[in-house]
Structure 1
Amino acid sequence: MLPRPARFRAIDWLRGIAVLFMIQTHAMALLRPELRGGTLFNALQWMDGLVAPAFILAAGFSMALTQVRAAAASGDADARRRRMKKTLRRLAEVLLVGALVNWMWFPIFREPRWIVRMDILPCIGFSLLLALPILFVLAPHPRALRWAALALAAAVFGLSPLAEPLGAPWNRFLNQHGDAVFPLLPWAGYVYLGAAIGAATAEKGPRGAALWLAALAGAGIVIWHFTPWFTALYPPHEFWVMNPANSARRWTQVCL
């Protein structure tokens, strides 16, 4: 029997704090050049680097949580299909807003490729859309779901440096050599980490979430410690974007 549905305040706080820092990080772009330095500026830059992972992880958490709860609340296949359709509508809304934001900045009618420019909203939308079949099928089995989500995250982070040399058309979606700001590799990995935590929360409540947050933070610290090994493991690549050890540093700080 799954715990009674309730909001998980830690994720609500994570979203709220991320919103504040999202506003702050965009405001920093307006700073005069001579003000871009010093201890406070550097500290804010470090915090700003956690905003995107926090948002993306929270999105994966919510998706898995709702899918598992929907499967547990009703054995009715029609009810689950309705939940699936509702989820698809929400993902379509996320992708639509992402396209509208791109429309604000780019001539999408003259150059339609800008419609699906991989900024954070399209990244979240496509990452969840790709994971949705697995989330839907495994939702009645939250234990299997969280391990499947963890395996997906490991695959995404592990393959990211190998995808960096890819050229067109893949570089528009999988690395930063094209138009992508938040390519699926490695950023989709945070969605799947969030899905693993969400499945654990749906099954075991706050205790399950705490255990998985602690476990992921512990694993991240170990991977972070072996940064030189992970750097040498792959061909030359952009460490601060693609390297699994750098991703581990980010998810560790978000989980803590």
Structure 2
Amino acid sequence: MLVMIETHVVNALLFASLKDETPFKVLTFVNGLVAPSFLFCAGFGLAISLRRRWAEFVGFGKPLWRYLFRLAFIMVVAYSLHLPFFSLRRMRGLTESQWIPFFQVDILQVIVVTLLFLILLACAVRNRSVFRSAALLVALAVVCLTPIVNGMDFSQLPIWLRPYLSAQYRSQFPLFPWSAFLISGTVVGFYFMDASDWQAIWMKWFACSAAAGIALSLLAEALPVNLYPNHNFWHGSPDFFFVRLGLIGLPLAGLWYYERGKRGSAFSLVALFGRESLLVYVLHLLVVYGYTYEWSFVRLFGPTLSYPECLGLFAALTISMYIVAYVWHRLKGWNMRAAQAVEVAALGSIVAAFILK
């Protein structure tokens, strides 16, 4: 989450001429691992939930319905972030072309749709081993089909569906290949927890597999043979997917060894941002990209800042997000009903303002 905040601040505010220089290109490649990592961790989180309450999920118990309700809430939030106007009255007069930005697909939509698919898959197969294998096959299918899907024309599909399938329709995160990162996280999560008695050995194997995946993918790219027409390593190729997946896996293995045996604070920056990731994600996006708000960074500054100035705003925003996350987490720990009342009141106020404005 920290690197995600930095990515958004720099991309939105850095002076345009600086983006043509080598340091920004290197930073862009590193920052490009943020979204795959976020998706991978979301999938790993699903693995934890399913592994602990498998019978209740596949048996359509209360945990399943609570999880589905949360997914529905996240989807509403995801589309709300794309409102062209914060006014129901003005929204009614939009033309079809003006609706396009609203229906663009970002990372939250990918998370919701992919998690929903995996839950339905689990309920269908009802066996953990079968689910794990089926999810792995789906991930491989998504990766291998991405170059083909990217070349297809989806213009005849509904305006809300096209962005899920191709980046041609103002979609930053089409399901091909981005859903495969999340599914990979779920598969790895299941294998990791199944190795509860020998996790240290399994983690070494995982790190070696990640390194091998990077090496083999780069080697395959260097070969004078392409399986796909119009091959582009940087745009949807399986080779680039496995390079990024390996670059995610290596630091995750390192972090596991670093944290092994340590008792981290529940209120450390990383831990707190992990627990309150949705809150931090939504708030920092509004602060940075809230085009309809005069106090947003893009309205106040625009792409006019240097690296030190971006760093200063990143630090200030991180501190602010930590304070908000800390207060909210404390409130939930002190009195969950009070926190729910605050949540309902805040959401009700937002909806009322949207309707009445």
TM over 0.5: yes
Matches within 5 A, 1:215-226: 215-226=209-220
C-alpha distance 80-215 of structure 1, shift in aligned 2 (>3 A): farther
Partner of 1:61: 44
Supply the distance in 2 between the matched residues of 1:160 and 1:78 (Cα, whole angstroms): 30
Kindly provide the CA deviation profile for residues 188-231 of structure 1, in whole angstroms up to 9, marking residues without a partner as x.
11011101011112322344455445434433431232014597
User: 1:117 aligned to 99, 104, 116, which one?
Assistant: 104
Asked if structure 1 preserves the Cα contact closer than 8 Å seen for 2:57 and 2:123, the reply is no
Are 2:238 and 1:244 aligned?
A: yes
Supply the distance in 2 between the matched residues of 1:78 and 1:154 (Cα, whole angstroms): 24
Partner of 1:15: none
Unmatched tracts of structure 2, length 5 or more: 251-357
C-alpha distance 211-219 of structure 1, shift in aligned 2 (>3 A): same
How far is 1:126 from its partner?
Answer: 1.1
C-alpha distance 190-131 of structure 1, shift in aligned 2 (>3 A): same
Partner of 1:187: 178
Supply the distance in 1 between the matched residues of 2:58 and 2:139 (Cα, whole angstroms): 30
Partner of 1:20: 2
Supply the distance in 1 between the matched residues of 2:30 and 2:9 (Cα, whole angstroms): 14
Which deviates more, 205-214 or 41-50? Answer: 205-214
How far is 1:145 from its partner?
Answer: 2.9
- The amino acid that maps onto 1:33 is A
Asked if structure 1 preserves the Cα contact closer than 8 Å seen for 2:132 and 2:190, the reply is yes
Which deviates more, 50-59 or 110-119? Answer: 110-119
Matches within 5 A, 1:33-112: 33-36=16-19, 38=21, 40-71=23-54, 75=55, 81-103=61-83, 109=92, 110=94, 111=96, 112=99
User: 1:131 aligned to 111, 114, 118, which one?
Assistant: 118
C-alpha distance 125-230 of structure 1, shift in aligned 2 (>3 A): farther
C-alpha distance 77-136 of structure 1, shift in aligned 2 (>3 A): closer
Asked if structure 1 preserves the Cα contact closer than 8 Å seen for 2:33 and 2:248, the reply is yes
1:241 alignment partner, SS class: coil
- The amino acid that maps onto 2:78 is G
How far is 1:79 from its partner?
Answer: 6.7
TM-score, L = length of structure 2: 0.59
Kindly provide the CA deviation profile for residues 46-105 of structure 1, in whole angstroms up to 9, marking residues without a partner as x.
21110000001111111122112112xxx5689752221122112112211111111157
C-alpha distance 172-242 of structure 1, shift in aligned 2 (>3 A): same
1:121 alignment partner, SS class: helix
For the aligned residue pairs, the C-alpha RMSD in angstroms reads 2.8
Supply the distance in 2 between the matched residues of 1:58 and 1:84 (Cα, whole angstroms): 20
C-alpha distance 105-222 of structure 1, shift in aligned 2 (>3 A): farther
Would you say how many aligned residue pairs link Structure 1 and Structure 2? Answer: 234
C-alpha distance 152-78 of structure 1, shift in aligned 2 (>3 A): closer
2:168 alignment partner, SS class: coil
Partner of 2:349: none
Asked if structure 2 preserves the Cα contact closer than 8 Å seen for 1:63 and 1:195, the reply is yes
Higher relative contact order (CA 8 A, sep 6+): 2
Asked if structure 2 preserves the Cα contact closer than 8 Å seen for 1:172 and 1:178, the reply is yes
Supply the distance in 2 between the matched residues of 1:89 and 1:102 (Cα, whole angstroms): 21
TM-score, L = length of structure 1: 0.79
C-alpha distance 76-187 of structure 1, shift in aligned 2 (>3 A): closer
C-alpha distance 212-178 of structure 1, shift in aligned 2 (>3 A): same
Are 2:134 and 1:154 aligned?
A: no
Supply the distance in 1 between the matched residues of 2:56 and 2:68 (Cα, whole angstroms): 19
Matches within 5 A, 1:200-211: 200-205=191-196, 206-207=199-200, 208=202, 211=205
How far is 1:241 from its partner?
Answer: 2.4
C-alpha distance 162-227 of structure 1, shift in aligned 2 (>3 A): same
Are 2:221 and 1:227 aligned?
A: yes
Q: Percent same amino acid at aligned positions? A: 26
1:24 alignment partner, SS class: helix
